[in-house]
Homo-oligomer: A and B are copies of this chain.
Amino acid sequence: MIYITRRECFNAAHKLFRPDWSEAENLERFGKCANPNWHGHNYVLFVTVKGEIDPKTGYCANLKDLSSLIRTCVIDQLDHKNLNLDVAFMKDKMTSTEVVAIEIWKQLEGPVAGLGCKMHCVKLVETENNYVEYYG
């Protein structure tokens, strides 16, 4: 068993707020992240898959295929978008790094199985000071 990781980036706007809370309540719980007019990040996504090595190619997974799959299923939906408004798979969800990481996992789990390997980890870096890891 070997683990292979692909890094992809996306730049997006978001805010953390609940429409069922007052603006004051949102600011109290989410601080600056509740700014009504949004803020944004250069998100860095690390997708780790695991599997056996194909003795013919030496590959666990073809990185070009893995990259294409991540771009189609995830990056194209998120890059230069508003995570709260523009993304079908984030509809009616909080856009915390935790929730975004889990939803990215859900987008990738099936397609990655089609490459002959299994999802191991989604790591989502929001700033140089914080990131989330989800293992399913």
Contacts and interface: CB of A to CB of B under 8 A. Distances in A.
A77 interface: no
B37 A5 contact: no
A40 interface: yes
Given A2-B101, A58-B94, A95-B58, A7 B39 contact: no
Contact of A59 (B98, B101, B102): B98
Contacts of A11: 39-41, 127
A33 interface: yes
6 contacts: A1-B135, A4-B130, A5-B132, A8-B129, A13-B38, A16-B57
Contacts of A35: 80-82, 86
Contacts of A86: 35, 37
A63 to B, nearest CB: 5
